[in-house]
Amino acid sequence: MPDFRKYYTIPAPPEEVYMALTYAPSLSLWAGENIEMRTEPGTTFSLFDGEITGTNIAFEPNQKIIQHWDFGDSEITSEVTIKLHPHKKGCSVEVRHSHIPEEAWEDITSGWDDTYMASLMDFWR
């Protein structure tokens, strides 16, 4: 199964980006009103009205988030690691998404650009 890796620049410091990715009230402003998120390993999450669901694996405040993403009723899960790096323009967001089922590749990779990160970047516009 292929892996995806890409960097995005967000015009905000890593601390603010981390809050936008993990704090439910902030998440609801850019990832849909029906979100579920807690920063405790082993908890489930849901974003974009249930389009993205999975389990939270690990958190390093202001630095890293690791999640397992589900694929519908399939037993297949993929791993997403989001790392936040200080950048002269705010924050460099490194996304690594591994074990993506080949049949989901196009939807996942375009979703990172066109939905997930586009919505997050719009949060600061």
What's the confidence (pLDDT) of residue 31?
Answer: 94
110-119 pLDDT tens trace: 999 999 999 9
Residue 85 to residue 96: CA distance in whole angstroms? 14
Question: What residue has token string 């323009």?
Answer: 89
Q: Is residue 103 very low, low, confident or very high in pLDDT (cuts 50, 70, 90)?
A: confident
What's the whole-model pTM score? 0.94
What's the confidence (pLDDT) of residue 76?
Answer: 77
What's the confidence (pLDDT) of residue 72?
Answer: 72
Tell me the average pLDDT across 2-7. 94
Number of domains making up the chain: 1
What's the confidence (pLDDT) of residue 125?
Answer: 82
63-90 pLDDT tens trace: 999 999 997 777 778 999 999 999 999 9
- Enclosing domain of residue 40: 4-122
10-23 pLDDT tens trace: 999 999 999 999 99
Contact present, 58 and 66 (Cβ < 8 Å): yes
Residue 68 to residue 103: CA distance in whole angstroms? 18
CATH at 35:
3.30.530.20
21-65 pLDDT tens trace: 999 999 999 998 899 999 999 999 999 999 999 999 999 999 999
Residues 6+ apart with CB under 8 A from 84: 14, 17, 18, 62, 63, 64, 91, 92, 93, 94
Residue 102 to residue 110: CA distance in whole angstroms? 13
